[in-house]
Amino acid sequence: MVNNHHSRKKGVAVASTLLALIAASCGSSAKTAAPTTAAATTTAAAAAATTAPAATTASAATTAPAGTTASAGTTAGAGTTASGGTAAAAGAGIKKGLTVYFIPKDTQNPYEVLADGGGTAALTELGGKVVVSSGTEDTAAAQIPSIQAAIQAKADAIVIAGNDPDALCPSLAQAQAAGIKVVAFDSDVSCPDHLFINQANTEQIGTSEVDLLAKEINSTGEIAILSAAATATNQNAWIGFMKQQLSKYPNMKLVDTVYGNDDPATSLTVLQGLLSAHPNLKGIISPTTVGISTAAQYFSTHKDVKVTLTGLGLPSQMKPYIKDGTVTAFELWNPKDLGYLAGYAAAALASGVYTLTDGAKFTGGKLGPYTLSLPAGSKEATVVLGPPQVFDASNIDQFNF
């Protein structure tokens, strides 16, 4: 699910571990419910039948799906620990009544639903609202109608997980010309003048995935990658660093990369094709929550297939496969916190609390202060949520998202 696609040298770090953040988040109840998922396009006839009506406004009355409790961690970004600050203090200078459009990769990805719920929690704290709107396929064409809807609605900001780094830029430029601030999260876009909320250091994600798999297969054998969309910015960036990291493991060979488009049926089809084409396959990295959960489900019912699986997964989905031994370890960050941070960042940007300059600061609510990094010559400013967390049998029961 994430997608998502280029290297960044981040100048921010989280002082305490993401483990503490997630543990705190899973122990509290949400201040508001997750948003209603809305489809703003009819690009897929089959998917249209399972999607809510277009551009539904999220509200506190919306029922939250299981596992979407808002995080209540107090770990601050940018190397600083928050110390008991209230949401009101964190929202100082942010305008009331803001409308922020959250445009996920698609409306049916559980990861995206969690992230959008975090955004709704943030805007509710700030006296604003989130509208969740997107299509049901991981394509730029499915997201463009939602950008146009945000323009028509005179939204204050757009938070988008880009399905394509370039194809969305003309529409986003129209939004910016209309005075709408743009924040990308999870999967970046290549357009200028926006903030990217990176879920974790891009290089660290790619290299750590390879290291996890190498540890489990004794650094030897054929491996493959089961990715999301071929155009996903984050996926391609992570894969690039995976390939670099593999140079440290001369006895591991990457034999194939396949794309499941963050669709369970497609992921299963390409997985089966991968196994058929490479009978000596030793391991698979799936840096997408849909891909890894699909593969884990298949392997759990096909015990004769001896392939080691790791990647990026939701603990709530992967717990049964850790318990039955199908998967030994995988990684992720808290998607609820990613959306929450993006919501605060978008609201503060739309309110003029900070500008897109190197060293600019804003407060991410209960997550604490963050500092923007904008290297010379770069088109965008970035902040990093924090390092990924490894989940295994020793800690999987602590997490419920």
Burial of residue 222 (CB within 10 Å: 0-12, 13-18, 19+) is: middle
Helix 140-152 × helix 169-177 angle, to 10°: 10
Q: Which residue segments constitute the domains of the chain, with CATH numbers given?
A: 18-199+334-386 (3.40.50.2300), 202-332 (3.40.50.2300)
Structure tokens belonging to residue 245: 């990291």
Please state the three-class secondary structure of the chain as a single string.
Answer: CCCECCCCCCCCCCCCCHHHHHHHHHCCCCCCCCCCCCECCCCCHHHHCCCCCCCCECCCCCCCCCCCCCCCCCCCCCCCCCCCCCHHHHCCCCCCCCEEEEECCCCCCHHHHHHHHHHHHHHHHCCCEEEECECCCCCHHHHHHHHHHHHHCCCCEEEECCCCCCCCHHHHHHHHHCCCEEEEECCCCCCCCCEEEECCCHHHHHHHHHHHHHHHCCCCEEEEEEECCCCCHHHHHHHHHHHHHHHHCCCEEEEEEEECCCCHHHHHHHHHHHHHHCCCEEEEEECCHHHHHHHHHHHHCCCCCCCEEEEECCHHHHHHHHHCCCCCEEEECCHHHHHHHHHHHHHHHHCCCCCCCCCCEEECHHHCEEECECCCCCCCEEEECCCCEEEECCCHHHCCC
Structure tokens belonging to residue 388: 């990924």
For residue 53, the number of C-alpha atoms closer than 13 Å in the C-beta half-sphere is 3
CA–CA dist 39, 33 (Å, integer): 19
Alpha-carbon distance values, 163 to 208, 216, 239 (Å): 24, 32, 16
Structure tokens belonging to residue 228: 């999301």
CA–CA dist 69, 307 (Å, integer): 34
pLDDT along the chain (401 residues), means of 10: 38 35 34 34 32 33 31 31 45 93 94 96 98 95 98 98 96 98 96 94 95 98 97 95 98 98 97 98 97 98 97 97 98 95 98 96 95 88 91 94 91
- Interior/surface letters 131-162, b for 16+ CB within 10 angstroms, e for the rest: bbbbbbbbbbebbbbbbebbbeeebbbbbbbb
The confidence score (pLDDT) of residue 155 equals 98
Residue 185, strand partner residues: 197
pTM listed for this prediction: 0.72
Residues 6 or more apart from 123 whose CB is under 8 A from it? 98, 100, 129, 130, 343, 347
CA–CA dist 141, 41 (Å, integer): 9
